[in-house]
Structure 1
Amino acid sequence: MPALSLLLAAAVATAACVEPPADPTNTYDAPHTFDKLVRDYPFIQIASAALPEGVRKLPDQVYAQYGSRCLMLDAYLPAGEQLPVVVLVHGGGWKSGYRSEFVPMALRLALQGYAAVTISYRLSGEAPYPAAVRDAQAAVRWVRAHAAQLHIDPRRIALAGGSAGGQIAALAGVTGGDGAEVQAIVNIDGLSDFTTELALKYENDPKKNPSSAGAWFGGRYEDKGELWRAASPIRHVHAGMPPILFIGSGQPRFSAGREEMMAQMARLGVASDQLVLDGTPHSFWLFDPWLQPTTDATVAFLHRYLH
């Protein structure tokens, strides 16, 4: 189906459902994060989201609908056929953030020959765990079902995300089935285990009442421990699962469970790799000079496992 037909189909779909307007309290984006970080990292620049020559954008595609509620994605497509594709899941503590967060990385992936898809999903204030994970899997199914229109190879799909999106991508990827299977995962500074002492120190802090994770799970670890465990990607390590690239910041709290998960994967013969960008803040992928090494490591990893 030509791009115009896809856009017309999206227009028909969006007539029956809507995407909520931007929430002014949702401030997890590059400009607000820049303001918080620039004093300590005066050399950073917000990574460009300008569409480069040779990459086309297919915006506002409805991939799931709940009543009148639309979930949308944007596709960034280089020229070519049977392209590998990366589905990108934004961060924001499960409660905030926008799919636009990953546009700069999507564009750089597209310039390397990868189709890239940025998705919105239901945040914790709208729907608790596991809604966001199911949404990410629904996006993979939509991409696979529309492989011909997107000129992508349905056998070469990766899930990637940052922060909460990294955890969602990892969990959706290791538990995917029924058309949501992926061939590789990239977890950028997302938790691998909610139940470690390090993770609980921050994610289960009673002073936060609730913490970001507690809001997503609907209760503290002491009350909803089964959900906290089930949402930990490390609990789902199994033979035959997709390989994972872990890209970490210089903030140890976000690496909780990473080394243990890699060790479990190694014992089962599942490949993994990691890149730790020492001295970086969380949300480093929003900014230059850190986005390029993040993208380069992702491309190198995917070149091994999606080709």
Structure 2
Amino acid sequence: MPALSAVLAAAALTCVAPPPDPSNTYDAPHTYAKLAAGYPQIQIASDALPAGVTKLAELTYAQYGARCLQLDAYLPAGQRLPAVVFVHGGGWKSGYRSEFVPMALRLAQHGYAAVTVSYRLSGEARYPAAVQDVQAAVRWVRAHAGELRIDPQRIALAGGSAGGQIASLAGLGPGSGGEVKAIINIDGLSDFTHPLALRYEDDPKKNPSSAGAWFGGRYAEREALWREASPIQYVRPGMPPMLFISSAQPRFSAGRDEMMARMAQAGVASDQLLLPDTPHSFWLFDPWLEPTVAASLNFLKRHMP
């Protein structure tokens, strides 16, 4: 097995991260506190490292001056592993890569390398910085595939909420480079210009909305960017197949049905799982993580064998 020293050495770089933001509360504990009364059956999904899975933490994949962007890799035993790169949610302005650790670990237990990434949030850098960061992370994983024991030809992207939209765009849009073989969009927008998306993301009572802050303006002011950042704009023959996993909150999957219809016309496979009676952020919790993982495994085995 190739030595991991080159990968581990990257973690030793001196990095400067933004100071902690007390308003960044998009994580499992805070979300649980909001949801537990309405969904008393839920539990925060475990992030305990299981036997047989190795964690490589705080690996630097990009650096802008003294600012480092980092990722964590969760590796099962084996060689030339298929890999999934996870993009966290948080309205483009908040969230942490730890959000997807529970799902990453469960995929690792099924033989997948799983990588969780941080990216620049809208308060630090507006669109398209986050998308470019995720694409840089995929390129870094491919470049270090030997050390990570990953098959560079079997890398998928997955994300939830804003991370689902970012993952989709990173895998389909400008700069994607055909490096991603499959995409999993978990409750993320497919079309910012869809009426349902505009109702919430361009709400004049929000000054600015989460999307408006990311784009630097409302839809009427930055229409070209809102359209450019919509994954539906990049449907074409030969694009990666996609799995859409959606909550019972339609606003978060605006454009999904239209995108799937366009994909069918282009001859591209897509699939969906709709989880009834679920809130947004369902993937953070049991019992909903289990069907999310099961659908993802079934999709990946079919489209990234």
TM-score range, shorter chain: over 0.9
1:55/1:110 contact within 8 Å kept: yes
**Equivalence for 1:230:** 228
Q: Distance in 2 between matches of 1:33 and 1:138?
A: 29
Q: Which amino acid aligns with 1:159?
A: L
1:38/1:44 contact within 8 Å kept: yes
**Equivalence for 1:182:** 180
**Equivalence for 2:290:** 292
Q: Distance in 1 between matches of 2:140 and 2:159?
A: 18
Say whether 1:29 aligns with 2:27: yes
Deviations 1:130-155 (A, max 9, x none): 00000010000000000000001000
2:220 match: secondary structure: helix
Q: What displacement does 1:280 show?
A: 0.2
Q: Distance in 2 between matches of 1:194 and 1:224?
A: 11
Query: How does 1:79-98 map onto structure 2 within 5 Å?
Result: 79-98=77-96
1:140/1:180 contact within 8 Å kept: no
Alignment counterpart, residue 248 of structure 2, candidates 247, 250, 253:
250
Q: Distance in 1 between matches of 2:113 and 2:179?
A: 17
Choose 21-30 or 208-217, whichever is displaced more.
21-30
1:61 match: secondary structure: strand
Q: What displacement does 1:8 show?
A: 2.7
Q: Which amino acid aligns with 1:198?
A: L
**Equivalence for 2:54:** 56
Deviations 1:213-243 (A, max 9, x none): 0000000001000000000000111111000
2:6/2:147 contact within 8 Å kept: no
**Equivalence for 2:237:** 239
Alignment counterpart, residue 72 of structure 2, candidates 59, 74, 84:
74
1:91/1:165 contact within 8 Å kept: yes
Q: Which amino acid aligns with 1:128?
A: R
Alignment counterpart, residue 105 of structure 2, candidates 104, 107, 113:
107
Q: Distance in 2 between matches of 1:63 and 1:75?
A: 11
User: Structure 1 length normalisation: TM-score?
Assistant: 0.97
Alignment counterpart, residue 63 of structure 2, candidates 62, 65, 68:
65
**Equivalence for 1:202:** 200
| Aligned-residue RMSD, C-alpha | 1.1
Q: Which amino acid aligns with 1:90?
A: H
Q: Which amino acid aligns with 2:34?
A: K
2:236/2:266 contact within 8 Å kept: yes
2:11 match: secondary structure: helix
Say whether 1:151 aligns with 2:152: no
Q: What displacement does 1:279 show?
A: 0.6
Same amino acid, percent of matched pairs: 73
Alignment counterpart, residue 172 of structure 1, candidates 170, 173, 179:
170
Q: Distance in 1 between matches of 2:178 and 2:216?
A: 26
Which consecutive unaligned segments of at least 5 residues does structure 1 have?
Answer: none
Q: What displacement does 1:176 show?
A: 5.8
**Equivalence for 1:301:** 299
Q: Distance in 2 between matches of 1:78 and 1:23?
A: 33
2:7/2:144 contact within 8 Å kept: no
Q: Distance in 2 between matches of 1:116 and 1:222?
A: 39
Q: Distance in 2 between matches of 1:199 and 1:268?
A: 24
Q: Which amino acid aligns with 1:237?
A: V
Deviations 1:16-37 (A, max 9, x none): x323343221100000000000
2:132/2:175 contact within 8 Å kept: no
1:95 match: secondary structure: coil
2:10 match: secondary structure: helix
Choose 1-10 or 295-304, whichever is displaced more.
1-10
**Equivalence for 1:124:** 122
Q: Which amino acid aligns with 1:56?
A: T
1:191/1:254 contact within 8 Å kept: yes
Q: Distance in 1 between matches of 2:292 and 2:243?
A: 11
Q: What displacement does 1:5 show?
A: 4.4
Deviations 1:55-103 (A, max 9, x none): 0000000001111100000000000001000000000000000000000
1:298 match: secondary structure: helix
